[in-house]
Structures are given as structure tokens and as C-alpha cells.
């Protein structure tokens, strides 16, 4: 299923309570947007979680839907609240309380890409900002919640796996030397967005594949995990960040020689995650 807001791939049958989503892998850079930006076609992609949707595109084979952004993160960030509007970018927006993401230019409509490089020459109108939210943000999040509701109704629980990638430079000095540089960072907002048992199982799936996993440092989860993680209601949300250097050349934004192997490795991880979440909660507890 494809529209202007997202791409949705459904399994032949929903056999798992998991929903996979990739909110930052959108790569549809429409000409009007490219005409607005001061960046070239390469630099504008620097904030994109390139190829993450391909790494997890096997999910429907194991009974879980995959929801993918269509528009790029530089155009609209689906991992931000629709209220995180940047007064330095959007006309008519009043300054509110301090929000570090908005202050750094990374609101729902970003002002900068990676490295703090400005996207636009000047400001955007409030009308344009609202149009982007109505066309992309609201349909994506409505579909995401609908998928989680369906999982909860069928299995007694819903597990959102929010898939991202992290630049290698973000890992420098982010964890102690004794811990080593992680391949994967799981974010559960320090236990607030998912039950410990589920996070343990997800971590075990990545670890069994030979990947070094840490939790919440340097990424604990942003809007999606905060908004959708309701473990008391058996709706869990876990953010996954994968080191881009494992599968792509960051400078050229192209897959590297390990891409196919990484994709196969993650296939086993996805199968394991979908498998342990494949039974209705009432049966799994018996």
C-alpha cells in the first residue's frame, strides 16, 4: 500500500504482535522541495536513515507489517511531535518552553541536516508547515496506531519496533571504553516505553546474531517511543539504532560490501522477534 505519506507492506497473515516501522528512511525528494533547499542533492540526504527499510523488509514474511516513510526526514520528521514547530524556521510560531530538539533545528520540520547545515535560505510559511503535517505526519501516525490496535486486538499486546540508523561519529565517546562501541542501541526510554521482558528478548535476538548491543546510550528513544510506549496497556515501543558503518558507506550514501550479509543477519533477528511475539498473550502465558 502506497500513498504520499507512507508505504505499507502487509503480511499474507498477521501472525505476530510486532509492527516494524522506519520513519526516517523516506527518500522521495520531490522537485519543489529540492528547489527550496540551499543544499545539493547529496547533502540533503545526510540525515536520512538510508536503506534501513531494506534491512527490515523481510518482516512481512514473518507475519508482521512494515510501515515506511515516503517523504525524507529533511522535509518532515515523523519522530517528532506535530507540535514541535521551530519559530526560527516557521513564520508565526511563538517561542515556547525550551525544547532542545527544536532549539538545535531538529523540530518536526527540520531547519538543519546532519552537521548543523541549514536546509533553507529563509523561513517557511505557517500554511506550508500545516500542509506538510496534514499530508504526511497525521496519515502516517494514524496508520501506525491502527496497526498497533489491530495487533493488540488479535494478540493481547502490540510491540512496535521503530527502526533507525546511527552515524559512526555519533558513537565516538558515547559509551565507556570498557563497554566497547555498540553495533546496535536499543532505546526504551530507560524502561518507560516497553516491559523489561520484551526488551530482554529483543536484545537477545540481536546478541545471538553476533551484534554488540547497548541500551539507551546515546539514544534512548524520541517522540515515537514516548508516544506509543504504554507497557501498562501492553503496548510496547522499542527504538533500534544500527551503526551505519556496518552496511553502508556514509560519505557516499551507498551500500557497502557487507550490505547483503547484514541484511541476511537481520533476517534471523526479525524472525526471532516475530516468533517470540507470535502467540496471543493469553496462550503464551499458559
- Cβ atoms 14, 151 nearer than 8 A: yes
What secondary structure, in 3-state letters, does 91-156 show? CCCCCCCCCHHHHCCCCCCCCECHHHCECECCCECHHHHHHHHHHHHHHHHHHHHHHHHHHHHHHC
How high is the pLDDT of residue 278? 72
Determine how β-strand 6-9 pairs with β-strand 18-22. unpaired
Q: Is the dihedral of CA 17, 163, 138, 62 positive or negative?
A: negative
Q: Return per-residue pLDDT of the chain as tens, 286 residues.
A: 546 799 999 999 999 999 999 999 999 999 999 999 999 999 999 999 999 999 999 999 999 999 999 999 999 999 999 999 999 999 999 887 778 999 999 999 999 999 899 999 999 999 999 999 999 999 999 999 999 999 999 999 999 999 999 997 766 656 555 567 899 999 999 999 999 999 999 999 999 999 999 999 999 999 999 999 999 999 999 999 999 999 999 999 999 999 999 999 999 999 999 998 776 544 333 3
CATH of domain 6-73+128-284: 3.40.630.40
What pLDDT, on a 0 to 100 scale, did the predictor assign at position 68?
98
pTM: predicted TM-score of the whole model, two decimal places: 0.93
Residue 221: its pLDDT value, please? 93
DSSP helix/strand/coil, 199: helix
Q: What is the pLDDT of residue 276?
A: 87
Question: What's the confidence (pLDDT) of residue 284?
Answer: 38
25 closest CA partner among 1, 4, 3, 55 = 55
CA distances from 253 to 44, 49, 121, 244, 265 (A): 11, 10, 25, 10, 21
Amino acid at each position: 500500500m502506497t500513498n504520499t505519506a507512507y508505504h505499507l507492506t502487509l503480511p499474507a497473515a498477521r501472525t505476530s504482535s510486532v509492527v516494524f516501522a522506519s520513519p526516517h528512511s523516506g527518500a522521495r525528494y520531490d522537485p519543489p522541495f529540492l528547489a527550496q533547499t540551499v543544499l545539493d542533492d547529496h547533502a540533503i540526504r545526510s540525515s536520512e536513515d538510508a536503506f534501513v527499510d531494506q534491512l527490515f523488509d523481510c518482516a512481512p514474511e514473518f507475519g508482521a507489517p512494515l510501515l515506511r516513510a515516503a517523504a525524507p526526514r529533511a522535509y518532515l520528521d515523523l519522530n517528532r511531535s506535530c507540535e514541535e514547530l521551530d519559530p526560527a524556521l516557521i513564520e508565526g510560531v511563538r517561542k515556547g518552553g525550551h525544547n532542545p530538539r527544536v532549539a538545535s533545528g531538529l523540530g518536526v520540520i527540520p531547519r538543519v541536516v546532519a552537521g548543523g547545515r541549514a536546509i533553507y535560505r529563509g523561513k517557511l510559511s505557517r500554511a506550508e508547515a500545516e500542509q506538510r503535517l496534514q499530508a504526511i505526519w497525521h496519515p502516517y501516525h494514524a496508520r501506525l496506531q491502527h496497526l498497533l490496535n489491530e495487533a493488540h486486538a488479535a494478540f493481547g499486546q502490540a510491540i512496535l519496533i521503530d527502526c533507525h540508523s546511527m552515524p559512526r561519529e555519533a558513537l565516538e565517546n558515547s559509551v565507556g571504553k570498557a563497554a566497547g562501541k555498540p553495533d546496535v542501541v536499543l532505546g526504551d526510554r530507560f524502561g518507560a516505553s516497553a516491559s523489561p521482558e520484551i526488551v530482554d528478548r529483543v536484545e537477545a535476538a540481536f546478541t545471538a546474531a553476533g551484534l554488540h548491543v547497548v541500551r539507551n546510550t546515546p539514544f534512548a528513544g524520541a517522540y515515537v517511543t514516548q508516544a506509543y510506549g504504554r507497557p501498562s496497556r501492553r503496548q510496547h515501543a522499542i527504538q533500534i539504532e544500527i551503526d551505519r558503518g556496518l552496511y553502508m558507506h556514509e560519505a557516499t550514501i551507498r551500500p557497502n560490501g557487507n550490505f547483503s550479509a547484514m541484511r541476511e543477519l537481520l533476517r534471523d533477528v526479525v524472525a526471532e522477534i516475530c516468533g517470540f511475539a507470535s502467540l496471543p498473550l493469553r496462550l503464551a502465558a499458559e
